[in-house]
Chain A
């Protein structure tokens, strides 16, 4: 019979035979969740075999179990306990796979000079393409003018080079939350600049455009 949320919390909080059994069951749940995440991301670590992937998942589940137990008192019962537990394992497994995938890979964190623009000969073609080129050129100017060097480097590392946020946080000795906050500010500044230049609607809550085709490389 499945445990209720209350059963989980009380048996995990009080030492005894039921506690040991609940811990084993919880660990099994977390291994399952970690394995699911690791296998879902296995294309990021092509050189790693099935056995090593399972080891990675088991290690992630162990670390996640420790993290969960340290936060057991914060469980408020807003979801099922099993769902709450899964998320600790999923997070830990995902972070470990990302770090494994980037182990030994250099992360470029140089400042960036944005040099793309729109050449006269590119000003042909469907209006949609011209709009995309104009937007890209305006975005390039905004990146140079309204972002600090640090903001520009974070934005390029995360969104252009696609360095995973956990990996970048580890290399820069900061946190995922701090990097996301920087990215949020970057987007707000870029959107404000593009609204000022007429490339985006002035509404603060307007969503950004999603051009249907790549913006072609344009040399300066």
Chain B
């Protein structure tokens, strides 16, 4: 027997339909995030590798970790 889904919040609709192209894996995100965070702190956010910001928008766990890394580098 399957569960019935009867509603979605606006946030859930947004999350389900988010465009996350170009594809970047969580492993690739981990490889790139330290360099990216330093570029943000240095005021060069445009230096983000293709797909990294899209991945961070679509992956709550990677985004949470990137935010902490940003805080640590800013200290």
- Which residues of A come within 8 Å of B, CB atoms? 32-33, 36-37, 40-41, 78-80, 83-84, 86-87, 90-91, 94, 98, 108, 110-116, 132, 135-136, 139-140, 143, 155-156, 159-160, 164-166, 176-177, 180-181, 183-184, 186-188, 190-191, 194, 200, 204-220
Contact = CB atoms under 8 A, between A and B. Distances in A.
A161 to B, nearest CB: 10
Contacts of A160: 5, 8, 12
A111 B3 contact: yes
B58 A183 contact: yes
Nearest to B64: A94
Interface residues of B, number: 43
Contacts of A159: 12, 15-16
Given A86-B34, A94-B64, 17 more contacts: A37-B68, A79-B35, A80-B38, A112-B3, A115-B5, A159-B12, A159-B16, A160-B8, A177-B25, A177-B27, A183-B59, A187-B18, A190-B16, A208-B17, A210-B10, A216-B7, A219-B6
